[in-house]
A and B are shown apart, each in its own frame.
Chain A
Amino acid sequence: MLLAFPAAAQEAIVAGMSQNRVSITADFDGSEILIYGAVKRDAPPPEGGPLEVIVTVEGPSTPVSVRRKGRVAGIWVNTAAVHVDSAPSFYAVATSGPLKHILSDTDNLRYGITIERVIRAIGISGEADKAGEFILALLRVRTNEGRYRILEGKVELTEETLFRTDIVLPSNLTEGEYKVRLFLLRNKHVIASQERIIGVRKEGLERWIFNLAQQQPLLYGLLSLVLAALAGWGASAAFRLIRA
């Protein structure tokens, strides 16, 4: 990794996380992950702009459809749709300063740091007029749902050496591997980066129910019916006892 940045090879990241797995259990109500680290140097800090840090957390990606409603004969109907190849289910960007001051457009494009650069939507311009508005709408809707977050200035940087940030994972989390990326920047250019993985998995009863529903769907459906029947009969019997 160090060799990839010959211009500023003297600075590297040493990073850690408060946890590298998140267990979704029955009482799961979101989770907070502390991502921290230090800058390792062989020499004193170089001259030039100050050191900046960006941390991104990216959930598993899937294709999505974005639909727009239009008025047809007085009622609101889906009239246009755009299909996006891949959009992450969760994405957070935490920075030590305002993004436009610390990150150049070329490096943003190269490393895919902001959410606009992570969403893959190739060839959508042919699908609808003003296809770009559909992408903006996707960002708006998911930001409102708390799935996409920009946390400018939320990375604490001490003495250009130690940094830390807290990323809150929402309660409507999906299972999968969450990719954590850390970037060191000087003069709007990335000088070092590192990647970590957080595994998000359902555990215990949640795991058991999910697996049964996926692997034995008929059994699962019938079991749901049996539970419903038992509960229905049980309540009826209990009420008769109370009245008797």
Chain B
Amino acid sequence: MQLYLPIAEVSVNAFLILGLGGIVGFLSGMFGVGGGFLITPLLFFIGVPPAVAVATGANQVVASSISGVLAQLRRKGVDFAMGWVLLAGGIIGSAIGVWVFGIMTRLGQIDLFVQLSYVLFLGLIGAMMFQESLRSLLRSRKTGAPVRRAHVHSWVHGLPFKMKFRASGLYISVIPPILIGAAVGFLSAIMGVGGGFILVPAMIYLLGMPTKVVIGTSLFQIIFVTGFTTVMHAVNSQTVDMMLALLLILGGVVGAQIGTRVGVRLKAEQLRILLSLLVLTVAIRIAVDLLVTPSELYSVTGALP
């Protein structure tokens, strides 16, 4: 069934979009990532203009994150205190990111900057996660191996402004979560993503939060960051396509519910190794685009009326 999108101004197959939303929703429910880093490139691929893809992708991430957070809430998987602290940092970072984005646009190299950010951050995070989760998977196979301690005391614990995060069982300074939130907010403004793929490993490895609250807390923060992004795009450039978003959301919310349930059945190490492989695949795909000689050296961009 063909459907004409009023803002993107292209005709697409409605079932293709529903399926796309479903797959990304499934992954988002399983891993606790928003799925923005997948949905945006996929929308480019089916011919949606990049500006519309970025803005509408953000809107879809809001819906799948809300669906995911509700499922996590019932499992007590959201640390609200941590979520608010991360969000405070996120807004600061996002504001700086929007500013840098403007500078790069004026220099005429924003596409390259976005692509390089994708390759660098997805590649780095993916490789780190893959290595770590592979090691812990091998360790858990060995019987009688020493169990890794949940919290290791480090310099992080010596910082001031300590706060109790009951759901995470942590008593740490608010400075590291604010910095992490800011870094993620910055990257999400640059890359047009929620930032879950950075937030999830940062919460596990840098803050030492238990895996059971990481996904819910990450989704909680992503709702607000992407909601803010959606409204900003709608106001600044009128590039949010409600029709496209609704289709993606319908597929996405169903996928997210199924994904959350599958995620519960998998072991944390298995989840992490799968997510790291997914992240690495996207990074390699974009890197190949930058390295291989394109079949068409020229590109045409015009503000179509």
Would you give the 0/1 interface string for B61-100, flagging 1 where the beta carbon is closer than 8 Å to chain A? 0111111001100000000000000000000000000000
Q: Which residues does chain B contribute within 8 Å of A141, judged by CB atoms?
A: 296, 298-300
Query: Across the two chains, which residue of chain A brings its CB closest to B47?
Result: A172
Tell which of A62, A137, A223 touches B303, judged by Cβ atoms closer than 8 Å: A62
Query: Across the two chains, which residue of chain A brings its CB closest to B73?
Result: A236
Stretch at the interface among B108-116, B205-213, B274-282: B108-116
Task: Evaluate contact between A62 and B304: CB separation under 8 angstroms.
Answer: yes
Tell which of A25, A142, A229 touches B66, judged by Cβ atoms closer than 8 Å: A229
Q: Does B302 contact A (CB under 8 A)?
A: yes
Task: Evaluate contact between A62 and B297: CB separation under 8 angstroms.
Answer: no
Beta-carbon contacts under 8 Å, A195-244 to B = 202, 205-207, 209-210, 213-214, 217-218, 220-225, 227-229, 231-236, 239
Q: A27-B2, A232-B67, A233-B70 are in contact. Are A220 and B242 (CB under 8 A)?
A: yes
Q: Does B20 contact A (CB under 8 A)?
A: no
Beta-carbon contacts under 8 Å, A1-40 to B = 24-30
Q: Which residues does chain B contribute within 8 Å of A193, judged by CB atoms?
A: none
Would you give the 0/1 interface string for A68-98, flagging 1 where the beta carbon is closer than 8 Å to chain B? 1111001111100100000101000000000
Q: Does B136 contact A (CB under 8 A)?
A: no
Q: Which residues does chain B contribute within 8 Å of A213, judged by CB atoms?
A: 6-7, 234, 238, 240, 242
Q: Does B143 contact A (CB under 8 A)?
A: no
Q: Count how many chain B residues have C-beta atoms less than 8 Å from C-beta atoms of the other chain.
A: 59
CA distance A26 to B242 in the complex (A): 12
> Which of B66, B109, B233, B298 has the most CB atoms of chain A within a 10 A radius of its CB?
B298
Q: A67-B301, A87-B302, A236-B71 are in contact. Are A221 and B4 (CB under 8 A)?
A: no
Task: Evaluate contact between A74 and B10: CB separation under 8 angstroms.
Answer: no
Q: Which residues does chain A contribute within 8 Å of B60, judged by CB atoms?
A: 228
Q: Does B154 contact A (CB under 8 A)?
A: no
CA distance A81 to B62 in the complex (A): 36
Shortest beta-carbon distance from B279 to chain A in Å: 20
CA distance A138 to B257 in the complex (A): 45
Q: Does B266 contact A (CB under 8 A)?
A: no
Tell which of A78, A207, A227 touches B242, judged by Cβ atoms closer than 8 Å: A227
Task: Evaluate contact between A65 and B254: CB separation under 8 angstroms.
Answer: no
Would you give the 0/1 interface string for B264-305, flagging 1 where the beta carbon is closer than 8 Å to chain A? 000000000000000000000000011111101111111111
Stretch at the interface among A44-52, A101-109, A151-159, A173-181: A173-181
Task: Evaluate contact between B290 and A174: CB separation under 8 angstroms.
Answer: no
Query: Across the two chains, which residue of chain B brings its CB closest to A243?
Result: B261
CA distance A174 to B112 in the complex (A): 28
Query: Across the two chains, which residue of chain A brings its CB closest to B4?
Result: A28
Interface band, chain A:
35 or more
CA distance A140 to B299 in the complex (A): 10
CA distance A91 to B10 in the complex (A): 17
Query: Across the two chains, which residue of chain A brings its CB closest to B74?
Result: A240
Query: Across the two chains, which residue of chain A brings its CB closest to B69?
Result: A232
Q: Does B243 contact A (CB under 8 A)?
A: yes
Tell which of A76, A77, A218 touches B234, judged by Cβ atoms closer than 8 Å: A218
Q: Which residues does chain B contribute within 8 Å of A64, judged by CB atoms?
A: 300-302
Tell which of B109, B240, B291, B297 touches A69, judged by Cβ atoms closer than 8 Å: B297
Q: Does B11 contact A (CB under 8 A)?
A: yes
Q: Which residues does chain B contribute within 8 Å of A78, judged by CB atoms?
A: 108-109, 111-112, 299
Q: Does B17 contact A (CB under 8 A)?
A: no
Binding site for A on B (CB under 8 A): 1-4, 6-7, 9-11, 47, 59-60, 62-67, 70-71, 108-109, 111-112, 227, 230-235, 238, 240, 242-243, 245-246, 249-250, 253-254, 256-257, 289-294, 296-305
Contacts A137-B297, A141-B298, A217-B238 known; 10 new A-B pairs at CB < 8 A: A26-B4, A62-B304, A66-B299, A69-B294, A89-B305, A138-B298, A213-B7, A225-B227, A227-B246, A231-B246
4 closest A-B pairs by beta carbon, nearest first, are: A221-B234, A232-B66, A64-B302, A235-B253
> 17 A–B contact pairs at CB < 8 A?
A25-B4, A26-B3, A27-B3, A28-B2, A30-B11, A64-B300, A70-B297, A78-B109, A171-B11, A174-B305, A205-B6, A210-B7, A213-B240, A224-B230, A225-B59, A227-B63, A228-B245
Binding site for B on A (CB under 8 A): 24-30, 60, 62-71, 74-78, 81, 87, 89, 134, 137-138, 140-142, 171-176, 202, 205-207, 209-210, 213-214, 217-218, 220-225, 227-229, 231-236, 239
